[in-house]
Each structure stands twice: as structure tokens, then as C-alpha cells.
Amino acid sequence: MSEDSHWLEEKLLQLNLVDTMDQPGGFTRLSYSPEESRSHEAFRKIANELDLQVTSDEAGNQWAVWKVDATAPTVAVGSHLDTVNAGGGYDGVAGVLCGLAAIKQMKDQSFTPKKNIAVICFASEESARFGVSTIGSKAVTGLLDKQDLETVADGSGVTIKQAIEEFGLNWETIEQAEKPTDSLESFLELHIEQGMQIENNGADIGIVRGVACPIRLKVTATGMSNHTGTTPMDNRKDAFVAIAPLVNFVEQEANKINDRQEVPLVATVSTVQLKPNAMNVIPGEVELGIDIRSVDDSVKYELADLIKSYCSQVEKKREISVKVETLVNNDSVFLAPQVQGKLQRVSEKLGYKALLMDSGAGHDVMNMAIRWPSGLIFIPCKEGISHHPKEYASIADLQKGSNIIAAYLLTETGDDDEDKDWSNQSS
Amino acid sequence: MSEDSHWLEEKLLQLNLVDTMDQPGGFTRLSYSPEESRSHEAFRKIANELDLQVTSDEAGNQWAVWKVDATAPTVAVGSHLDTVNAGGGYDGVAGVLCGLAAIKQMKDQSFTPKKNIAVICFASEESARFGVSTIGSKAVTGLLDKQDLETVADGSGVTIKQAIEEFGLNWETIEQAEKPTDSLESFLELHIEQGMQIENNGADIGIVRGVACPIRLKVTATGMSNHTGTTPMDNRKDAFVAIAPLVNFVEQEANKINDRQEVPLVATVSTVQLKPNAMNVIPGEVELGIDIRSVDDSVKYELADLIKSYCSQVEKKREISVKVETLVNNDSVFLAPQVQGKLQRVSEKLGYKALLMDSGAGHDVMNMAIRWPSGLIFIPCKEGISHHPKEYASIADLQKGSNIIAAYLLTETGDDDEDKDWSNQSS
């Protein structure tokens, strides 16, 4: 194994706060938790080893900057270090790690960039804790609405405001993390694919064109709680019996849409909350959370409308009230074609087969893309498994990712000659 | 309103720890909680006012005894004071209150019983907190298995052992609450019906023949968690999609059985737990809790078998493993015919129309009946609503219940002449 591979392996463990990546219980570093903070600390330590200037902004994002010229533009790369509950050690970490590894490569080659380079570690990308995703990058791009978030709390009743203050930040100033357009020139994220398209297409990496942002619905069916033992079957208003068929309806209708058109749609009833959820009480209320995604926004709307009609029918058929709320409705984000072009040329020169593809998952880049020309690289992950202890990306693929970022940064911050010799970049 | 009614109204509030029964958020006094303890304290206070000797046993049951002769047998009545989460103020309380009210009536009439009379307030009847019901009466009748319970915990991870010790009891001695057969002569419980049969039959009260005890199943479907946005519809192992149809299957099959036979069956998928239950993760595991009840045990077994076959089919059809565990399997309990007969005669003399019926819910009496000749009286509750803030029984019905208990106790502890004059008992 090369020295670079050893370094990747070592820093992967450090960022994950573990001695081995074999963690059957997975990795849990929820948004604005002490664990996320410890992982940020590990990031700062590595950045210091690389002689980068590290600062933390008002939203808890970590900025490790290779500053060469205060008047020169800054090119940024990055991702996040928080995870879902019992998630994997690569989602987010891969992008931060490869960004740092690219800097190391460039420094090892005694390259001096003509522009500043920032590796950003965004805070709180996952929605697992507060139901709100990409908080750090939203703050950077002015998309964070403090008032909207004021009452948001996690499952234990800890508000996002409390969590942020316990994280050592000041809730009142969080919006000041916003960066003006001229503070960065461009942004590039690297992430594990969380799917199988790269492998299925025999490619090495993916270059993302569009990010499918979700429509998220909350369906609340309200019937009547009563004793399971004393309420006859024909005198019940069981909210779970009424709304359970929606779970399969969503799958069936998504399949029908996919049978008909090329751009895929995915739809999932991913959360459920029963009230009172007690063995001897008929469910009086059921809350279902539905996540719908496609780069083709029109089919997302189509499915959301089908779900709403279905719920109206349930309401008419059973004596149950059914309310459908739209929690999130984000149009898909298309990334900068010029960045895609540069990444394609860089990949070609490195001898990597790149697949042009879309992203089914949201990432920090979708916020950054609204303000700066942005790109997203995917590296493969084993069997497409993600948000799971079995999530895995090989050191070889992390190395390829680092190589692409380094080559891209050399182009972006070097002499503007894309035709220089790349042969010493592959490993 | 009579003085007795005023007394009932006042003590109802005291036992419920409130100033008004109008509590939109309901009543929450979970098993072995500080709230249950406070309600027990209220019970002891009222018992003291009635000059009863109050003791607490090793399981936290409260015994208020009208002791007339240490060598005479003891006749017991009672129920419980704990509630489900956000439940009503009558489930349990009605029985304890009417027991105390009956003693008051007897004392007001300067009656001196020939036997001792105990009003028992059983600890921890509801399964809402620990998934285990009637802990107090199980302990009294030697049905409590301490070892079985050792690892049981509530939703917050507090073990039953911790809760019991915080309640002021000693976990090691809890089984010593068991009472020998000769310590009591008989037991009578009064409870709200939690159904509509009394009203639908134009009766005043119900006299219960059998208590339908549940079969409870836990169905665990295990698929594979993965990212909702990046996992194509045709490459998922969504445990929720696989098992959701079971909710409706249970209802349909229960209805089919009811169409065929007289003795009713009720079946409910009353709990669900999704893992990880996060908006952007496909459900990897679903746990459903199913409650099945009938006085006819054979149809409970029939439905449980149908559910097991259905789960095997799901396992074959989808790449999902489905495990069915039997959490509880209690045969129905039939109450003492001689007590039913006595209650019928007492009701007739009081001019109350009594309905002979079965109980769909379990009660402390089902444990007591294993050791002592036992009876169960139902009084109506509004619209059959129970385990809900809207649970309601009128003071008039509580008065009728008190009258029946008093008349029954007069018979049981008096001169053994069932034909004495009852005219001064009705109010």
C-alpha cells in the first residue's frame, strides 16, 4: 500500500473517531451533537498538520484554508462529518477526507497554487436529528431561516437552538455564517454514490449533472383511540387500518411512473408515528412521512397529487380525517456545466471512466450551487449500501477521488493550462 | 344531589389528583410512577377518614381493611388507580371509589359486618408503561415471575426494577406480596364497561361471566435500510412495504370470523416501531404488535395461525425475513357462577336491570379468580370510550355501583339472609 493510501486509511479512522472501520453498530454523529463536534476537532487537527488556517464560522462549519494571497479568489471543496443514527463512516467523511488528501498531494508535489484553496467541513448535513438537512451549507448560502427553525426539536425534545448553543455557537448570530458571492470562486463536493449506477455501468466515478431534491409529505390520519378488548370490530375508527394501504399505494404508483418514463422516480413511506402506540389501545392517530424524489420535478408533483387524491378517498370511505401537509418541496438543482466539463477532462487525463449521472440524494452542493458554480463527484460504495453500518468505500476509490480533486484543483489554481502533464497524478 | 353523590364526586377528584374531571389532556398515572404513588396516597387518606386500617404490601398494593374480627374471614373488593398515557379518570378509579363508597354507606347505616372487609387498590394494572399488565394482582396471587420481569424496561429505558425501587419498594421482596388462599374468602371488582353493551341492551349494569384474555403477537419484518433517494424502486428491501398489508389482513380475517360465529373476536395491530424511522432512510425493520381477544380461545388461536401463515407468505414473496413471537397467551378466565348469582339477586332487589356479559378487557379480577371465588360488575361509560381523555361515567352510575357493592357486602358479611329489606339501599 502506498504512503498516500496509508495516510487516507489513518485519517479516515481519525475523522470517524475509531480504531477500526469495522463497527457493527455503525457510526452515530448526529447534527450538532458532541460526537459531531469531536469529529470536527479531528478535522482541525489534520488541517493543522497540513499547515492550513482553520476557522469555524457562526453555523459551526469548519474552514481549512490554504491561503496564498489575500487578494486572490478562493476555490472550495468539501462535504460534512455528521451522520445519521447508526449510519456509515463514508457518507460525508469521504468528501472531507479526499479534499484534505488532495491538498496533501499538492503540497507533497511542492505545488504553489495561484488562488486560495478552502476545504469546508459543513455542519449538520443529515436531517436525522432535526428533520432539517444541510443546515451548515444553508447558512453559508443565506438559505437558513432562523425563525422557521426556532421551534424545531429532536426526538428527545431538545430544540435546535439548544443543541446549537450546547455546540458552542450563538443562536442569534447563526445567520452571519452567510458568505458573499465574491468570497468564493467555485465549489466542488465529493461524496459516495449511495447507489449502484457507477458499478452497473463499469465506470470508476460519477460526475453529477442534477441533484433530485425531495418533496416530503406528512400524512396525518385521525380516528379514535379506544380499548382493543372492548371495542367491537364494527364500531372502530382505527386510523392505522385506514391509512396502512397508503404504504403500498405509494410503491405501486412510483413503479407505474417508472414503467412509463426514463428519468427515475423514488418514493418511500419512511416514517410512522402511532398514537398512543400501546398494545391495548386502538390507534387513534397515525402520522406517515413520505419522501419523493426525481430530477424530473413534474413526476414528483404527479405522485404527490395521486397521494392527496388517495387520502381524500380514504377520508370518504372510512370515518377518519386525513390531512396531507407538504413539509419540503425543493425543485431539483442542476450543477454548473462548465464544472462538469472540467471534471470530465480531468478524469479522462487520469484514465478514469466517468459516468454522467444524477443524484437521488441531496447534498451540501445543492445549496452551494445556488450561489457558486459547483460540481459533485461520486465515488462507488459497496452494493450501494448507505446510511447503514455496512456502508463501505475502498481506499482505492478514495484514492481515485483524491486524485481527481487534486487534478481539478491544479487546473483551477495553476497556470490555467488544462493540457499540462497529469501522468504523475495517478497512483 | 344527595350527600352520597357529593361524597362520590369529591373523592373521584381526590383519587384523580384534580380539581375538575374536565381534563382535555387526560389522566396520566403510569405504572409505578410518582403519579400513581400520589393517587395511592389519596386512597390512604380517604380510607383513614373511613377508619379503615391501611397497609401497603411488597408489590405496592394498598389494602384498606375494616377489621372486625382477626379470626373471621375477609371479603375483598377493589380495582386500581394507575392509568394509560393520557387516559381517562374512571378506568380503575371507579372500582376503588365504589368500594370505599360502599364501606361508607355501611358505616353510615351503623352496620357491623361479621367478617372483615378489604378494599384493595392494586398497583400497576395497565400495561402502557412496561408492556406487562396487572402486576399488583399477579403478585397477590403468586403469578408474578420476578426473573421474567428483570430485563423489562419502559420506553425511556427505565427498568421495572428501577421503577419499583423508586416507588419505595424492594425488588427482592416483591414476590412476598403473595397471599395464602385462606387470607381471603372472595373478591369482587367493579369497573367501567369500556364498551356499549349495557347501553345497547337497555340495562343498568353488567355482570361478567368470562374475561377474554389476549394472545399478543410481535411481528418483526427485517429488510434492509438504505438511502431513500439513491436506491431504485426495483432494488429495495423495504420492510414497511412488505409488512404493511398485514394491518388490513388482521382486520379482514377478524371480520370473517365474526361473520361466522356468535362469540365476538377483536383483533388490532396496535403498535408499530420502524427502524430507523428517518425521512431519508428506507425502513429496514418494522415491529408490529398485535392484540387478539375473545372469550372463545379457539378463535384466538385460529387468527394467530392465520397471521403466522400470512407472514410466511410475505417472507417467501419478498426478500424480507418475518419473525412472529407470542408475547402473551392467556386463556380466558371464567368467573365464579355463585358470585354471579349473588350479584344477580342483589341487582334484582335493588331494581337494577343486569346484563350477563363477557369482558373484552383484562382486569385484576382475572388473576384473583384463579385463587378466590370472584366477580366483576360493569357500570356503563359514555359511548364506550375508554383509555381516552373523554372517558366518562356518571355519578348516578357510580352511585348504582356503590349500592350494588354495599348490598353484596351486606349479604356476604351480614346474617347470611339474602332476603332482608333492601329498600333503603337505592338512592
Q: Determine the average pLDDT of the residues in A143-163.
A: 91
The alpha-carbon gap from B35 to the nearest alpha carbon of chain A, in Å, equals 19
Reported confidence tier of residue B148, pLDDT bands at 50, 70, 90? confident
Q: How long, in residues, is chain A?
A: 427
Q: Determine the average pLDDT of the residues in B81-85.
A: 95
Q: Give me the pLDDT at residue B319, please.
A: 85
Contact criterion met (CB < 8 Å) for B270 and A281 = yes
**Number of Cβ pairs < 8 A linking chain A and chain B:** 247
Q: Which of A90, A36, A85 is nearest to A60 (CA)?
A: A36
Q: Give me the pLDDT at residue A106, please.
A: 97
Contact criterion met (CB < 8 Å) for A360 and B272 = no
The alpha-carbon gap from B54 to the nearest alpha carbon of chain A, in Å, equals 31
Instruction: Report pLDDT digits (tens) over B230-288.
Output: 899 998 999 999 999 999 999 999 999 999 998 899 999 999 999 989 888 999 999 99
Q: Collect all residues of chain B within an 8 Å Cβ-Cβ radius of residue A248.
A: 241, 244-245
| Residue of A225, A232, A240 lying closest to B269 (CB–CB) | A240
Contact criterion met (CB < 8 Å) for A281 and B84 = yes
The alpha-carbon gap from B267 to the nearest alpha carbon of chain A, in Å, equals 7
Joined grid coordinates for residue B221: 419484518
Contact criterion met (CB < 8 Å) for A291 and B276 = no
Domains present along chain B, CATH in parentheses: 3-212+332-425 (3.40.630.10), 215-329 (3.30.70.360)
Q: Determine the average pLDDT of the residues in B199-223.
A: 96
Q: Give me the pLDDT at residue B143, please.
A: 94
Q: Is the pLDDT of residue A420 over 60?
A: no
- Do the beta carbons of residue A262 and residue A304 sit within 8 Å? no
Q: Give me the pLDDT at residue A1, please.
A: 64
Cell 504512503, residue? A3
**Which H helix or E strand runs over A310?**
helix A297-317
Q: Give me the pLDDT at residue A416, please.
A: 57
The rounded distance, in Å, linking the Cα atoms of B71 and B94 is 30
Q: Specify the 3-state DSSP secondary structure of B328.
A: strand
> Nearest residue on chain A to B254, judged by CA atoms?
A233
The chain-wide mean pLDDT, for chain A, equals 94
- Do the beta carbons of residue B21 and residue B28 sit within 8 Å? no
Q: Determine the average pLDDT of the residues in A411-417.
A: 80
| Residue of B231, B248, B385 lying closest to A241 (CB–CB) | B248
The region of weakest confidence among A43-47, A83-87, A255-259, A267-271 is: A83-87
Q: Determine the average pLDDT of the residues in A10-21.
A: 98
Q: Which of B241, B262, B263, B256 is nearest to B306 (CA)?
A: B256
Reported confidence tier of residue A55, pLDDT bands at 50, 70, 90? very high
User: What is the torsion angle, in degrees rounded to the nearest 10, for the CA atoms of residue B422, residue B425, residue B426 and residue B427?
Assistant: 150
Instruction: Report pLDDT digits (tens) over A100-131.
Output: 999 999 999 999 999 999 999 999 999 889 98
| Residue of A127, A230, A241 lying closest to B280 (CB–CB) | A127
Q: Give me the pLDDT at residue A330, please.
A: 87
Q: Give me the pLDDT at residue A412, please.
A: 96
Q: Is the pLDDT of residue B101 over 70?
A: yes
Instruction: Report pLDDT digits (tens) over B46-65.
Output: 999 999 999 999 999 999 99
Q: Collect all residues of chain B within an 8 Å Cβ-Cβ radius of residue A291.
A: 228-229, 279-280
Q: Is the pLDDT of residue A425 over 70?
A: no
| Residue of A84, A229, A251 lying closest to B214 (CB–CB) | A229
Q: Determine the average pLDDT of the residues in B67-74.
A: 95
| Residue of B255, B278, B283 lying closest to A84 (CB–CB) | B278
> Nearest residue on chain B to A359, judged by CA atoms?
B230
Q: Determine the average pLDDT of the residues in B111-119.
A: 97
Instruction: Report pLDDT digits (tens) over A179-238.
Output: 999 999 999 999 999 999 999 999 999 999 999 989 999 999 999 988 899 899 998 999
Instruction: Report pLDDT digits (tens) over A333-361.
Output: 999 999 999 999 999 999 999 999 999 99
The alpha-carbon gap from B417 to the nearest alpha carbon of chain A, in Å, equals 36
- What whole-number percentage of chain A has pLDDT above 90? 86
Decide if the complex's ipTM is over 0.85: no
Q: Is the pLDDT of residue A380 over 50?
A: yes
The alpha-carbon gap from A102 to the nearest alpha carbon of chain B, in Å, equals 27
The alpha-carbon gap from B414 to the nearest alpha carbon of chain A, in Å, equals 35
Q: Give me the pLDDT at residue A369, please.
A: 97
DSSP letter assigned to residue A296: S
What region does B391 belong to: left with phi over 0, alpha with psi -120 to 50, or beta? beta
Contact criterion met (CB < 8 Å) for B280 and A291 = yes
Q: How long, in residues, is chain B?
A: 427
Instruction: Report pLDDT digits (tens) over B363-386.
Output: 999 999 999 999 999 999 999 998
Contact criterion met (CB < 8 Å) for B282 and A268 = yes
The region of weakest confidence among A265-269, A343-347, B144-148, B353-357 is: B144-148
- What whole-number percentage of chain A has pLDDT above 70? 97
Q: Give me the pLDDT at residue A423, please.
A: 45
The chain-wide mean pLDDT, for chain B, equals 94
Q: Give me the pLDDT at residue B416, please.
A: 57
Q: Is the pLDDT of residue B422 over 50?
A: no
Contact criterion met (CB < 8 Å) for A279 and B270 = yes
> Nearest residue on chain B to A217, judged by CA atoms?
B279
| Residue of A233, A245, A385 lying closest to B266 (CB–CB) | A233
**Long-range residue pairs from B149-157, CB within 8 A, at least 24 positions apart, any chain:** B154/B30, B154/B129, B154/B130, B155/B129
DSSP string, A116-137: EEEEEEES----TTTS---HHH
Q: Collect all residues of chain B within an 8 Å Cβ-Cβ radius of residue A357.
A: none
What region does A277 belong to: left with phi over 0, alpha with psi -120 to 50, or beta? left
Q: Is the pLDDT of residue A26 over 80?
A: yes
Contact criterion met (CB < 8 Å) for B271 and A284 = no
